[in-house]
Amino acid sequence: MEIFTGVEILCPYPALYLEDIKAVVIADLHLGYEGIMAEQGIFMPKTQFRKEQEMLESIAGLKHAERVIINGDVKHEFSETSYHEFREVGELFEILRRHFREVHVVKGNHDNFIIYVTRKHGIALHEELMLGKYHFFHGHRMPREAEAEFLVMGHEHPAIALYDEIGVKEKVKCFLYGEAGGKKLVVLPAFSPLAYGSDVNQVPKSELLSPLLRSIDVDKLNVVAVSEEAGCLPFAQLGELRRFA
């Protein structure tokens, strides 16, 4: 589904494709999550990495992309990379290098110490990244000033809360896109199947995670929900969805 000219959501996945730079963009993988939870006494099936691998294999077959950009939070643990993360992140990089000529990682707020893994696998690591007319930054801090037509970020894990006729709530990941300070903005949902994040149609603007989103009129951003069951579902602007939340 094209949201701007040459900017396409790769339905039904939480991934973006940028035609002019032949790039797939994803964010917020949070690898190692189950292992970290197990260390805290919370045991859950280790399904996240396998699911992310399956999605990446499918995405790689959709387009003739030359590069992939992970726009922050490859790993989950804030502190030094754990064994679980080191193994899964390393496997991820090997998978990506088989499918893409270039692999770029933009550092997120969870990506402390990830340089040890990126260096081992020869992966380019950036605080922020400019490619063509696109400025990629994770979103936990305001981006630096740069000449770019597009801002592309993650971090917020946007999702919308939907209710059925008897009041049962379902949370669906979504993209946000629109104008922000004279630039075109795209906010990516989390790639992790375990990280649904913020109900952006219910959370007050002041409680959004990203300082950039708190600084703009988010109600004017467009919403596209995405799920493997339903594909891409365009909704009204966020402000309209807030009225019915």
pLDDT tens, per residue, the chain with 245 residues: 999 999 999 999 999 999 999 999 999 998 875 555 445 554 444 566 788 889 999 999 899 899 999 998 886 564 555 556 678 888 889 999 999 999 999 999 867 778 888 999 999 999 999 999 999 999 999 999 999 999 999 999 999 998 766 766 788 999 999 999 899 999 999 999 877 778 999 999 999 999 999 999 999 999 999 998 889 999 999 999 988 76
DSSP characters over 152-183 = EE-SS--EEEEE-TT--EEEEEEEEEEEETTE
Q: What is the pLDDT of residue 6?
A: 97
Residue 150 forms beta bridges with which residues? 134, 184
Q: What is the pLDDT of residue 78?
A: 42
Q: What is the pLDDT of residue 168?
A: 67
At 142, which amino acid appears?
M
Taking alpha carbons only, the member of 164, 221, 175 closest to residue 197 is 175
**Rounded distance, CA 53 to CA 112, Å?**
23
CB 188 within 8 A of CB 26: yes
**Rounded distance, CA 126 to CA 122, Å?**
13
Q: What is the pLDDT of residue 98?
A: 93
Domains and CATH numbers, the chain: 2-243 (3.60.21.10)
Taking alpha carbons only, the member of 154, 81, 90 closest to residue 118 is 90
